[in-house]
Chains A and B, each alone.
Chain A
């Protein structure tokens, strides 16, 4: 190669490399914080810590990532903090109760945020809600249960939790003969009550009930809109709705399930930082190490893009007043 050509090639390479070198690495040398609206030990916290361990690899600049817990009021406190106090510099990420859009919709006292204005990264998992009953009961399918007309006792933790809300709608809107016994301190206590034959079944997230399905203690009967491994073939509550209003109400309850583990940044966070985070999230859920760890912890992460999350939020918040009013009759914001 002639010298001139060499030089121009070199020049060409340098020019090509310049933009790369000039690429801003806004996260280099920084510490990012994930604020969790719950105490350590729960599902939201475990997900956040898992992500915090593996996300830095996928963010240019490899920032340090830490988790801070800000529990209280079913994560309303954390959400308010993310909306009003946290700085939109891209270094604070928040995760909170997926049902907060419902809290906003039903105008719960204490809501100081607007879900649509958060800078949405997306969701790290979707939730699949099912109802399961004890295997020694004679009903094998939801239809059988419904047709029999006999009463089943379903244990629940309290209004606002899917253990309570899902069966409540089945009872009120689909007319299934369900008696809800509420007050158990955790869904694990309900499982124990099932073993004791104190109650006949419970509703809840597929991931938490699966071990008991495998153990053949309970069998799943019906699910909500979002499906998960093992629940795809179950009938969906909405499709059995007797009228459009009932269907809208059930859909409203299920909507947040799609954004099972919401992750946001404060409003007005610069777009490029949100973009970086979204890409990082999308990559990290496929990260082999994370997948292995998640599997052991019986978690399954999948990335739901921020745009889709925002679509779901708008769907929830744009419901007509009469639907909201009837919805509020049944569903209260809680756990």
Chain B
């Protein structure tokens, strides 16, 4: 296997492939940065161009472009509080909060460095797991995936604030998310649930308009109210540098690694969806708070809230290659398009990709790693200058941000309904912030609702009651219970120490 690893690297380092990778990176940089330029749409637009390329070059181009989107999406999240991509919303919570404290440079540094660590760790975890990955994925059937969704939902408890009232609101937010996830035509009876008589809601609520609304709109309102720049009135007038953020990544190294592993694992599991990884990582990061004070700091600008999702949403990219190329099951729209690209280049996804064609698989993994290294290094050059955007007058930035918000949401379905959804959830997000309700559980509920429901029905239909006693299911159930109980246990322990 080591030879395959090496061969893969050699494949990537041919100069032509590198050139195309750079082209892809250049394109992917802007795609991730700008809301409205969706990774999936752009990939679809690029497909025709790869017909004329050699397979390795084409992969380098497509993957180079795709690998970078999650990294640069973090930049818009941190600087403006607008999710550049659906997968970078979690970084807004603490990343943008840091920007408002004048620590934009540090947040950006942390986001980028953790993205890089995530990509590398994810790649290596993947390489190491290749021998067991097929049996692993095959042993995770619908019951196990349902339980995994339950574990994800259990994180709602961690994401809620402290105390009884905090838990109540956390569960309410999560419950609302779960309820909203049922909007749309259900796959059991075909009933168009809660479509309110509109065609727009037939297929359910799209994640991006909701995220953009619930996170970006309150930020914009706050920006207008404050009347200052994003960074507000700084005491010393100096912005903290990106280097500080890099140091943070190493100060909390084990957390970053753990979140990378979470991301890789979620990425490998087909059918979990891209948005889940970052929120589970964020939830895990909040668990690393050592006392109640620290716990409150999350959401107000704790760098760990940036490290977690930053690492996870990159490591999951490497992970999600596995279901795509080893099983032909794409984990996201972007992967589905990549899969189309693979077909075009004559590659047949299947077990062969992990055995006979292992070097090609590794070359893809290497592409992701190298693309991320190049991007991060390139970004660092002008990271501090980017951070200065947070000192620009609010009046100039607000229209830009709002245009980005509106177009970013509109491109979900090219329908005015998208904007209505954004405005509506903007209002809800604003109320939540005003009332002190946590928004993260809501997102988790929304993202995991459909998955949980579908897998439950499949499990019961297929196995009746027997699925409950499958070994992995019981392990995951225990894990879910631990995840729910842990924060309660932690707060009691903190209470004892206080």
Contact = CB atoms under 8 A, between A and B. Distances in A.
Interface of A: 39-41, 45-46, 49, 53, 68-74, 76-77, 80, 109-110, 153, 155-160, 179, 181-186, 188-189, 191-193, 195-196, 198-199, 211-212, 215, 293, 296-298, 332-334
19 contacts: A41-B336, A45-B44, A72-B417, A77-B199, A158-B185, A158-B187, A159-B189, A159-B190, A181-B462, A183-B188, A185-B454, A189-B270, A191-B327, A192-B270, A192-B327, A196-B138, A296-B343, A297-B340, A298-B343
B352 to A, nearest CB: 9
A72 B413 contact: yes
A69 B411 CA distance: 10
Contacts of B137: 192
Given A40-B40, A158-B188, A188-B336, 15 more contacts: A39-B41, A41-B43, A41-B337, A71-B414, A76-B202, A80-B199, A158-B187, A182-B457, A183-B457, A185-B271, A185-B451, A185-B454, A188-B329, A192-B137, A334-B190
B343 A297 contact: yes
A189 B271 contact: yes
Contact of A196 (B141, B186, B203): B141
A171 B202 CA distance: 28
Interface of B: 40-41, 43-45, 47-48, 51, 137-139, 141-142, 185-190, 192, 197, 199-200, 202-203, 270-271, 323, 327-330, 333, 336-337, 340, 343-346, 348, 350, 413-415, 417, 450-451, 453-455, 457-458, 461-462
B328 A211 contact: yes
A71 B200 CA distance: 9
A76 B350 contact: no
Contacts of B44: 40-41, 45, 49
A90 B451 CA distance: 43
A160 B414 CA distance: 24
A155 B415 CA distance: 32
Contacts of A182: 187-188, 457-458, 461
A68 B323 CA distance: 30
B187 A72 contact: no
Contact of B48 (A53, A160, A179): A53
A74 B189 CA distance: 16
Contacts of A69: 41, 414
Query: In terms of DSSP, what is the predominant structure of the interface of chain B?
Result: helix
A158 B41 contact: no
Contacts of B271: 185, 189
Contact of B461 (A110, A179, A191, A215): A179
Give 8 nearest A-B pairs by CB, closest first: A158-B187, A40-B44, A159-B190, A183-B454, A73-B199, A73-B202, A332-B190, A188-B329
A205 to B, nearest CB: 15
Contact of B187 (A49, A73, A183): A183
A40 B330 CA distance: 15
A329 to B, nearest CB: 12
A229 B461 CA distance: 34
Q: Which of A68, A183, A211 has the most CB of B within 10 A?
A: A183
A155 B142 CA distance: 12
Contacts of A297: 340, 343-344
Contacts of A77: 199-200, 415
A193 B327 CA distance: 10
A70 B414 contact: yes
B458 A293 contact: no
Contact of B323 (A46, A74, A192, A293): A192
Contact of A189 (B188, B329, B346, B348): B329
A70 B461 CA distance: 35
A296 B51 contact: yes
A264 B44 CA distance: 23
A166 to B, nearest CB: 15
A198 B415 contact: no
A184 B458 contact: yes
Contacts of A39: 40-41, 333, 413
A334 B199 contact: no
B415 A72 contact: yes
A41 B40 contact: yes
A59 to B, nearest CB: 19
A77 B413 CA distance: 11
A159 B461 CA distance: 16
A193 B190 contact: no
B330 to A, nearest CB: 6
Contacts of B417: 72
Contacts of A76: 199, 202
Given A53-B48, A211-B348, A193 B340 contact: no
A212 B343 CA distance: 13
A80 to B, nearest CB: 7
A56 to B, nearest CB: 14
Contact of B458 (A80, A181, A192, A296): A181
Q: Which of A155, A158, A189 has the most CB of B within 10 A?
A: A189
Contacts of B350: 215
